[in-house]
């Protein structure tokens, strides 16, 4: 469609933000769930949940004093290194915007070969991270592993609890259910954050020492009045503003009562838990694997799934902009939101993409892509532009104003013009998993194969079998290695 140089020029030419339609918001809620006294016991954090409802009124009164003072910008970013190729991959798709663009990753030529693979205690749905030169993998066995990148040797491992059998849940498609959402590393506190679903069931946020795996503290992150067994923590975690942000949706099948939500916990482990709940009677999941993304001001953007209403708009099938304290700033829904809700064709399947120049791109199950404005998403039907793209799932990758959209069975290139228009580029049916960019290539996976695609044409440069992959598996690029989670562990590729 265009060369990388042209992409850069296009990004620089994107127009400034133009005022549009907005919407008012309900207040975010604040509750308090104290960290467990013993960091190693998930049971202690679970026990504290029973007291959370009684404590919530007190916490609401004291939240402003207890919560950290948010910084103006996200606190996480890839660590600086003498060699940029060895900079960390600390969160899903590399950075706080989840761009997936590893600009210093070397170009790999020739056939792809196996560097190593390792079997762990469960499937790895989460994207592998790289923290201080160490590969971090989280499993559905409720374990976190630190692996030597040259060999896959285990440096340390920490089991955080007993995962939840599928047979004890109302529905779902992961068995057992342990750690599904990609963890996040906070460089300021040198902490790895992961949410484990443990028998009970309960969702526990663990803060791990990045060097040793020791649990520094843990906290139950199930909101009072919500049923833990009906909720699933699939989205990648995000770190910024002194918080770790956690998205929740329902189980595959939407078989039980739940409401989509985002929870924020201070990275220090001290202070109140904050939250935003999608104002639906039912559903409205925050479930896209890419999770919340943060702009330069520290505001969050999320997408929400279909809701139960087809008569009164309820905040479902939307893109929502939230402040650092999870108060709603603006939101967007397509005019067809009622039809999307009725047919399970919502926007919640893909994480929003922040485009340089003040635009937001989103596409959902209905196959329509929308361009919105950051800071004022437009309310119902007030998009900047829209076009047929594809049914998109997971997390996209971007190079400036050019976006590579994962469409399950295909990958599609789109670009946002200076006027906010959508331009459709190449399409490949080779693979369509959530992609990343590096070495002049787009890396994506499907079925049991990892693919290296030419960035300018979408043609296949190379591929390799890596084993059975979980839904929405996305690669990690680091120092000439391509890492990907599989249904049995982690597979590493080199050229």
What DSSP line would sit under 255-301, residue for residue? -S--B-EEEEEETTS-S-EEEEE---SSB-----TT--EE-TTS-EE
HEC letters along 310-354: CCCCCCCCCEEEECCCCCEEEEEECCCHHHHHHHCCCCCCECCEE
For position 284, what pLDDT does the model report? 98
Query: Residue 23's pLDDT is what?
Result: 37
| CA distances in angstroms from 443 to 133, 147, 191, 285, listed in the order given | 21, 22, 28, 28
**Percent of the chain at pLDDT exceeding 70:** 83
Average pLDDT over residues 127-143: 98
Residue 86 pLDDT level (bands cut at 50, 70, 90): confident
For residues 241 and 66, what is the distance between their CA atoms, to the nearest angstrom? 15
Q: For residue 327, how many other CB atoms are within 10 A of its CB?
A: 16
What does the pLDDT look like over 482-491, one tens digit per residue? 999 999 999 9
pLDDT value for 466: 98
Query: What residues have CB less than 8 Å from 273, skipping those under 6 apart?
Result: 30, 31, 32, 33, 59, 219, 221, 263, 264, 265
Residue 62 has pLDDT above 70, yes or no: no
Least confident range from 4-18, 134-148, 218-232: namely: 4-18
CATH code of 4-494, in short, is 2.140.10.10
Whole-prediction pTM value? 0.86
3-class secondary structure, 82:
coil
pLDDT digits (tens, 9 = 90+) for 230-259: 999 999 999 999 999 999 999 999 999 999
Helical (H) or strand (E) element with 56: helix 52-66
* 34 pLDDT higher than 50: no
Mean pLDDT of the chain: 88
Q: Per residue in 5-26, pLDDT tens?
A: 444 333 333 333 333 333 333 3
Ordered by start, the domain boundaries in the chain are 4-494
Q: What is the mean pLDDT of residues 390-414?
A: 97
The residues, ordered by sequence, that sit 6+ positions from 4 with a Cβ below 8 Å of its Cβ are 399, 440, 455, 456
């Amino acid at each position: 469609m265009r060369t990388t140089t042209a992409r850069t020029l296009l990004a620089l030419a994107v127009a400034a933000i133009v005022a549009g339609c907005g919407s008012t918001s309900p207040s975010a809620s604040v509750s308090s769930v104290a960290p467990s006294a013993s960091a190693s016991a998930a049971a202690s954090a679970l026990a504290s949940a029973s007291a959370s409802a009684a404590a919530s009124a007190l916490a609401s009164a004291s939240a402003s004093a207890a919560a950290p003072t948010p910084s103006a910008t996200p606190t996480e970013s890839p660590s600086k290194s003498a060699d940029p190729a060895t900079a960390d991959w600390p969160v899903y798709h590399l950075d706080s915007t989840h761009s997936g663009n590893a600009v210093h990753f070397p170009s790999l030529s020739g056939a792809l070969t196996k560097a190593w693979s390792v079997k762990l205690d469960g499937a790895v749905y989460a994207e592998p991270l790289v923290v201080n030169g160490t590969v971090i993998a989280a499993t559905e066995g409720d374990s976190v592993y630190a692996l030597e990148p040259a060999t896959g040797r285990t440096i340390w491992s920490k089991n955080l609890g007993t995962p939840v059998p599928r047979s004890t849940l109302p529905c779902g498609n992961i068995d057992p259910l342990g750690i599904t959402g990609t963890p996040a590393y906070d460089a300021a506190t040198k902490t790895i954050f992961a949410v484990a679903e443990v028998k009970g069931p309960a969702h526990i946020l663990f803060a791990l020492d990045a060097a040793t795996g020791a649990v520094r503290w843990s906290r139950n992150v199930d909101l009072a009045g919500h049923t833990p067994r009906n909720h699933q923590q699939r989205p990648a975690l995000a770190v910024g503003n002194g918080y770790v942000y956690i998205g929740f949706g329902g189980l595959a099948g939407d078989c039980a009562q739940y409401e989509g939500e985002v929870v924020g916990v201070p990275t220090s482990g001290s202070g109140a838990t904050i939250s935003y709940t999608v104002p639906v009677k039912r559903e409205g999941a925050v479930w896209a694997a890419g999770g919340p993304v943060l702009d330069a001001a520290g505001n969050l953007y999320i997408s929400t799934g279909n809701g139960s209403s087809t008569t009164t708009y309820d905040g479902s099938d939307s893109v929502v902009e939230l402040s650092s304290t999870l108060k709603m700033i603006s939101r967007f829904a397509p005019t067809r939101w009622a039809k999307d809700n009725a047919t399970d064709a919502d926007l919640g399947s893909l994480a929003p993409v922040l485009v340089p120049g003040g635009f937001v791109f989103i596409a959902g199950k209905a196959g329509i892509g929308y361009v919105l404005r950051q800071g004022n998403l437009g309310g119902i039907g007030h998009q900047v532009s829209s076009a047929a793209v594809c049914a998109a799932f997971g997390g996209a990758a971007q190079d400036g104003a050019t976006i590579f959209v994962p469409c399950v069975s295909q990958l599609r290139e789109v670009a946002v013009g200076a006027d906010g228009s959508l331009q459709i580029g190449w399409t490949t049916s080779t693979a369509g998993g959530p992609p990343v960019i590096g070495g002049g290539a787009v890396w994506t996976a499907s079925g049991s194969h990892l693919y290296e695609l030419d960035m300018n044409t979408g043609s296949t440069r190379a591929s390799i079998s890596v084993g059975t992959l979980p839904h929405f598996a996305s690669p990690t690029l680091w120092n000439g290695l391509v890492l990907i989670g599989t249904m049995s562990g982690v597979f590493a590729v080199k050229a």
